[in-house]
Amino acid sequence: MTTINVGLLGLGTVGSGVAKIMIEEADLLSQKLGHNLRLAKVCVRNLSSRRNFSPPTEILTTEPGEVVGQPDIPVVVELMGGLEPARTLVLQALSAGQHVVTANKALLAVHGREIFQKAAETGREIKFEAAVAGAIPVIRILKEGLTANRIQSVFGILNGTTNHILTRMTKDAMTFQAALAEAQQSGYAEADPTNDVEGFDAAHKLVLLTALSYGVLPQVSDFHVEGVTRLEPEDFTAAAEFGYVIKLLAVSTLDQADGRLEIRLHPTMLPAKSLMAGVNGVMNAVMIRGHASGDIFLSGAGAGMMPTASAVMGDIIETSRDLRAGSAPQVPALGWKNLQSWSVKPQQEIRLSYFLRFTVIDKPGVLSAISGILGRHDISIAQAIQKSFEPARGGVTLIILTHKAREMDLQAALAEAEKLDALTAPTRLIRVENQI
């Protein structure tokens, strides 16, 4: 039986999972594939680190050159994370004629153009199923099963840490700080959670979903990214009263009217009865709307040693099948020959419904002053509720749900409202998504 060698760069959580499957499931894989996959070399930073799974010591090395550039290792799996030396090693591997599998979303979101270009030049594969939504095979579905579709929208819950925190805030009325501390204690959040809670991790994944869906590779700086750190328990209570839940939602959608892309990642109110609203805890989900397929909804584990390793293994297996067939990559990395140049709509021009939570002094004329400001900025009120006095915020809560309005107008109205003496605390704004 043919044997295909695989080299691994990095033996952290996901790398250990990949090594474990390759070694423990070797027979099963051979039976399913009709060829052997052999873990030939694993490059680690420190030979004596404690690991979740320890491969035989004779295949460990601290020298990346024992994996990258080795002619008898046609598949290199990059699971080191970070931008460097991952970028350099991936480019070197592609240049040396090796195929690359990676789970590194930040690397591809930041250096994707250079890396995809190199893969195209060298005719090698760069696969990245594990970079988006962990175990969910969404990349393959976008690249293959849905190829015939004009993708209209992609929505996602792409970060397990924040989804866990928001679930606790929804179900147990916890503050953000308490939910984060609990997530850290349970191992669902990192000691430095910035990348997750500020939305950068999900934004990197959204870049990749956008590239696959529309052939456009945006930069994170091209779109609005807002994390979950400013959400308060009152936002969740009010959302429930209006029939919504709050999720950190990634959105990439084509505005049919003007042909521009709307890309955004921010806390979003979703109808409580939507499938996406029921995705709780560390789970991820992606909904793809194709012109022919209609809505496809996928959900599964977005992180963790074995779920992510499952996705990496899918890429290794697919690459090994192409190698065995002696063919060039059957499906190019992005599924688009050349990246398209459609433009991304500035957030200021996007039209959405908004949830606004004002805290005001309870006296005659305040509601009329606020509604007057909204009206002058062309913002129509869909619903309004006034709540009782909240000592912590020094006023009564006034919640307004708007019809669709331009973000630019909404921001101008809020800036004007902030000048009213009647406001006793900063106004909270959460965007609403009803198309899901």
Q: Would you please indicate which residues are annotated as catalytic (active-site) residues? A: 205
- 160 lies in the binding site for ligand HSE (CB under 6 A): yes
CB count within 10 Å of CB 376 equals 12
Size of residue set near ligand HSE by CB under 6 A:
7
In the chain, how many H helices and how many E strands?
13, 17
Residue type, 330: Q
Q: What φ, ψ does residue 330 adopt, rounded to 5°?
A: -70, -35
In the block, residue with structure tokens 């009206």: 375
- 161 lies in the binding site for ligand HSE (CB under 6 A): yes
Identify the CA nearest to 204 among candidates 83, 97, 79, 105.
105
Q: Minimum Å distance from CB 14 to ligand HSE? A: 9
- 433 lies in the binding site for ligand HSE (CB under 6 A): no
Q: Closest CB to ligand HSE among 68 and 109? A: 109
Q: Minimum Å distance from CB 48 to ligand HSE? A: 26
10-13 own/partner pairs: CB under 8 Å, 24+ apart: 10/43, 10/44, 10/78, 10/79, 10/80, 10/81, 11/42, 11/44, 11/49, 11/51, 11/55, 11/60, 11/79, 12/79, 12/80, 12/81, 13/52, 13/304, 13/305, 13/308
Tell me if residue 38 falls in helix, strand or coil: strand
Q: Closest CB to ligand HSE among 135 and 141? A: 135
Q: Which of 74, 290, 302, 307 binds ligand HSE (CB under 6 A)?
A: 302
Which window, 64-72, 119-127, 158-166, 289-297, contacts ligand HSE (CB under 6 A)?
158-166
How far, in Å, CA of 316 to CA of 303, rounded? 18
Q: Closest CB to ligand HSE among 9 and 303? A: 303
Q: Minimum Å distance from CB 217 to ligand HSE? A: 19
- 78 lies in the binding site for ligand HSE (CB under 6 A): no
- 102 lies in the binding site for ligand HSE (CB under 6 A): no
How far, in Å, CA of 381 to CA of 85, rounded? 52
Q: Closest CB to ligand HSE among 303 and 417? A: 303
Based on the number of CB atoms within 10 Å of its own CB, is 264 exposed (0-12), middle (13-18) or buried (19 or more)? Answer: buried
Q: Closest CB to ligand HSE among 54 and 184? A: 184
Q: Minimum Å distance from CB 205 to ligand HSE? A: 7
Evaluate whether 370 touches 398 at the Cβ level (below 8 Å): yes
Parallel, antiparallel, or unpaired: how do β-strands 423-432 and 351-360 relate? antiparallel
- 235 lies in the binding site for ligand HSE (CB under 6 A): no
- 159 lies in the binding site for ligand HSE (CB under 6 A): yes
Integer-rounded Cα Rg, in Å, for the chain is 24
Which window, 75-83, 106-114, 155-163, 271-279, contacts ligand HSE (CB under 6 A)?
155-163
- 167 lies in the binding site for ligand HSE (CB under 6 A): no
Q: What φ, ψ does residue 156 adopt, rounded to 5°?
A: -150, 145
DSSP for residue 217: -
Q: Closest CB to ligand HSE among 160 and 395? A: 160
Q: Closest CB to ligand HSE among 161 and 359? A: 161
Interaction residues for ligand HSE, span 173-212 (CB under 6 A)? 196, 201
- 86 lies in the binding site for ligand HSE (CB under 6 A): no
Which window, 143-151, 157-165, 350-358, 409-417, contacts ligand HSE (CB under 6 A)?
157-165
Residues of this chain that interact with ligand HSE (CB under 6 A) are 159-161, 196, 201, 302-303
